[in-house]
Structure 1
Amino acid sequence: MVGANPINDKYGFRYWNNPGAFVEHIVPGSTGGFLGVISAMVQASFTICGPEYISMVAGETERPRRVLPAAFKSFVWRMLVFFVGGALCIGILIPSDDPTLAGILSGDKKGSGTGAASPYVIACERLRISGFPHLLNAMILTSVFSSGNGITYAATRSLYGMAIEGRAPRFFAYTTKNGVPLFAAFGALSFCLLAFLQVSNSSASVLTWLVYLITACQLLNYMGTCITYLHFRKACQVQGFPRESLSFKARLQPYATYYAIFMLVLFMLLLGYDLFFPGNWSYLYFFLDYSMLVAFPLAILGWKLIKKTKYVRAAEADLTLGNTKREIDDYEIVAEIEYKPQKWWERMTQKITE
């Protein structure tokens, strides 16, 4: 930014002035700038994920009361550094109307669907920083592999759990002698075949389809999480289970959850806002944006009618999964005594969490 690059370009915040930090979208003027912010936030709704993965591994954690609070607290800072900080860096490095980025994403230039489409790589090549684009591509590859690994685990774990509870075909509950849910893993990995959609379409188009479809599902998942939490909180109050006894408590509750539900509903309705402007209507994108908003309630209603399940009232909810609080406390005490970190990074992690 201050000229410490091979071509001594002191670009600073140049691109915040031209074309500007807030670009008009669809329509001109301040309304277009507002729509640009909405468009960016809809895209960000697809990107922001991760806290649900921490919850999913909670049942397999040796010392959940010690490990999970640290994981949840650090999640906020990771989001700020990597997502907010990353967006800030991209806005500084290249303009929103960069021809190279637009050409690669549209498929008109070579590199669509590869690391060449990364704003960081484009900026490094433009500043003639040799070797750094290759390093960035390697980092992108490891990031994609790590993300895919985590998502595959989450999908496999969910499908296996549904099969155990009778909510998915029973064969998905099969495990090998080592406890690997083989069929559930194959079922989760089968969705990777959707990548072949880009054989007859540009990778940018396929990515856009998946982004809209997955974003709707993700917002609905978070909505379910919020509603579940409100029921859990109510059950704790009715059964006299004090929140002070929990090892981790979310702040500003239940108001933060009410705010989250309001924003989730708002963004679910805004997913396809651009379709309602003249010349933008598309049946394909209307289906991708809003089909899940209909499919989820129908799936819940169909399950209730077919299985004849009943609503679990707060006074009847099982907060300890069949165990007494004393049994859970005893397990935590034994796990804490028996846990002895062997490797240096385990000992370092223990000191940080303490």
Structure 2
Amino acid sequence: MDSTAKRSEISSLPSKQSKAGVFVKGGIDKEATSTLAHDQTHRRLKSRHIQLIGIGGTIGTALFVQIGSGLTKGGPGSLFLAFSIWCTFIFAINNCLSEVVTWIPISSPFVRFADRFVDPALGFCAGINFFVFQAALVPFEIVAFNVVLHFWTEKIPTAAVICIVIISYAALNIFAVRYYGESEFWLAIGKVILIVGLIAFTFITMVGGNPLRDAYGFRSWNPAKVSGAPFAEYIKTGSLGRFLGFLACLIQASFTIAGPDYVAMAAGEAEKPRKVMPDAFRSVFYRLTAFFVLGSLCIGLVVPYNDPDLLSAISNAHPGAGSPPYVIAMRHLHIPILPHLVNALVLTAVFSAGNSYVFCSSRTLFGLALEGKMPRFLTRCTSNGVPVYCVATTLAIALLAFLQVSNNAAVVLQWFVNLVTTSQLLNYAIISYTYLQFHKAQGIPRESLPHQSFLQPFSAYYALIGTFTMAFVGGYTVFLPGRWDVPTFLFSYFMIGALSLLFIFWKVYRKTKVSLRDRNIYI
């Protein structure tokens, strides 16, 4: 579908709508109409692509590898409880996004919603924050790809692997979006097979279906078998130590669990968005349950939280450290071949996640450029509708992966984790707050919306309070006696300070005004 047809599709939606999506008292928002007239992306992503893009961004290194770090700090009980609780916050965010994105299916939706429904200064902050978050995850996945690859060999030069991965991402994201959607579809299918297979592996082996005939069951949860289980102590001893262990797992969950934001980012290039997007958002509930709740339970079953091999893999990034705890469990059970297969599938999962981040970060940058918040040349698209300069900028940031050449991989991974966790939480807080303003300012009965999420506005308030609070909790360890660390403090709280300064800068520079001064807004 070309850009003219795309404008026609949006203009043919129900009354009081335009491609810009915003009518205000007195007529059409001319600025929005002018901006969106430059949106040359094409609606070529089918329903199956949208579904699998959400999975592609959800399942990656954090679920298969980094989750082991949370297990070593809090134990299996804390890990399972923390992941179950945090899924409720993500589901609340999903409720917020599903309603407004289905109503206004545009490129970089929630970034531009903050601009329209709150304040252009907040839209600017939201866009920069989400771009930094997504772009920083690209080198994170590239570094992780290299670490997982070392399970088999260290003979391939690190720099060569980084170059090959970056070139592959460029090929999949520049030539045509349909290749991206199709490649992500098949890569995501591999992830689904992997996670379902690992859950099945857990329940088969725990009842004795393994070469050792060891029916280990919930042994790793049993304090008589594993000291400190199921709620391990972290930093301190006693009840305080167990609480800090749970808090460490909750912080790990806030980094690991995602989903609805990736579905939303594809709205501007989805075929028949009013029909496709609600189904895609509904499926998030099943992904959260299957991938994260069951996944965290299984991780805590297959390997004890204090297993020496797991502790070594997490802290030292030795060869094979990139493999998930499942691989360690398979080795303990003397299962041949399967560890290599699992590691291979994890490798594809890591690659796929990085591919999704390139797509999402480039589209965020494209949306910022459409809104005049980034240089206009970034709005230029190829004849196939790909924002080529945005993709190139994202891949330039991916060159940070070369930090691994002169540093320990585990250290580099932690740098990126610290940087993006706070950024992700702030992004979710902005989404929640923006929805609350949309809920108040839309000026039309909710019954007329094509999709209505439930428990609103409670879901939005719940998500806002939880995510905003966790953004400040993430680096709490530096404030404990004797644990002050300048790099940890900076990486944990840099984005909070940066966003505050960006908001003030844009507010003063553009003299923006709060959008809610006029509540008679129609979409």
Distance (Å, rounded) in 2 between the aligned partners of 1:101 and 1:290: 29
Among 94, 101, 105, which residue is 2:303 paired with?
A: 94
8 Å CA contact 2:317–2:409 kept in 1: the answer is no
The yes-or-no answer on 1:291 pairing with 2:494 is yes
Among 306, 312, 316, which residue is 2:509 paired with?
A: 306
Distance (Å, rounded) in 2 between the aligned partners of 1:108 and 1:179: 40
Structure 1: runs of 5 or more not aligned: 321-354
Among 220, 227, 244, which residue is 1:35 paired with?
A: 244
Distance (Å, rounded) in 2 between the aligned partners of 1:37 and 1:13: 19
User: Which secondary structure state, in structure 2, belongs to the residue aligned with residue 313 of structure 1?
Assistant: helix
Counting only pairs closer than 5 Å after superposition, residues 158-177 of structure 1 correspond to structure 2 as 158-177=364-383
The yes-or-no answer on 1:133 pairing with 2:315 is no
Residue 281 of structure 2 corresponds to 72
Structure 2: runs of 5 or more not aligned: 1-205
Residue 193 of structure 1 corresponds to 399
8 Å CA contact 1:174–1:183 kept in 2: the answer is yes
Residue 282 of structure 1 corresponds to 485
TM-fit CA distance, 1:169? 2.0
Distance (Å, rounded) in 1 between the aligned partners of 2:511 and 2:341: 56
TM-fit CA distance, 1:261? 1.3
Among 259, 265, 268, which residue is 1:50 paired with?
A: 259
Distance (Å, rounded) in 2 between the aligned partners of 1:123 and 1:51: 31
Query: So what's the TM-score if we normalise by structure 2?
Result: 0.58
Relative contact order, CA 8 A, sep 6+: which one is greater?
2
Cα RMSD of the aligned pairs, angstroms, is 1.6
Among 325, 346, 354, which residue is 1:119 paired with?
A: 325
Comparing 281-290 with 175-184, which one deviates more in the overlay?
175-184
Distance (Å, rounded) in 1 between the aligned partners of 2:421 and 2:326: 25
Deviations 1:8-38 (A, max 9, x none): 1121111112131211001000111111111
Residue 234 of structure 1 corresponds to 440
Distance (Å, rounded) in 2 between the aligned partners of 1:119 and 1:248: 40
Among 261, 267, 292, which residue is 2:470 paired with?
A: 267
Residue 253 of structure 1 corresponds to 456
The yes-or-no answer on 1:82 pairing with 2:291 is yes
Larger Rg: 1
The yes-or-no answer on 1:14 pairing with 2:223 is no
8 Å CA contact 1:235–1:314 kept in 2: the answer is no
Among 443, 447, 453, which residue is 1:244 paired with?
A: 447
8 Å CA contact 1:172–1:183 kept in 2: the answer is yes
Distance 1:312 1:268, change over 3 A: same
Distance 1:101 1:270, change over 3 A: same
TM-fit CA distance, 1:314? 6.1
User: Which secondary structure state, in structure 1, belongs to the residue aligned with residue 518 of structure 2?
Assistant: helix
Distance (Å, rounded) in 1 between the aligned partners of 2:269 and 2:441: 24
Distance (Å, rounded) in 1 between the aligned partners of 2:433 and 2:244: 29
Distance (Å, rounded) in 1 between the aligned partners of 2:445 and 2:471: 34
Distance (Å, rounded) in 1 between the aligned partners of 2:465 and 2:317: 40
User: Which secondary structure state, in structure 2, belongs to the residue aligned with residue 153 of structure 1?
Assistant: helix
Residue 80 of structure 2 corresponds to none
Deviations 1:264-304 (A, max 9, x none): 12211211111111221101101111111111121011011
TM-fit CA distance, 1:176? 1.7
Distance (Å, rounded) in 2 between the aligned partners of 1:108 and 1:59: 39
User: Which secondary structure state, in structure 1, belongs to the residue aligned with residue 515 of structure 2?
Assistant: coil
TM-fit CA distance, 1:145? 2.1
8 Å CA contact 2:317–2:410 kept in 1: the answer is no
Distance (Å, rounded) in 1 between the aligned partners of 2:257 and 2:368: 24
Residue 218 of structure 1 corresponds to 424
What is the aligned length? 314
Divergent runs of 4+, >6 A = none
Distance (Å, rounded) in 2 between the aligned partners of 1:95 and 1:190: 40
The residue type equivalent to 1:283 in the other structure is: V
The residue type equivalent to 1:54 in the other structure is: V
Comparing 43-52 with 190-199, which one deviates more in the overlay?
190-199
Query: So what's the TM-score if we normalise by structure 1?
Result: 0.85
User: Which secondary structure state, in structure 2, belongs to the residue aligned with residue 168 of structure 1?
Assistant: coil
Identity rate of aligned residues, in percent?
46
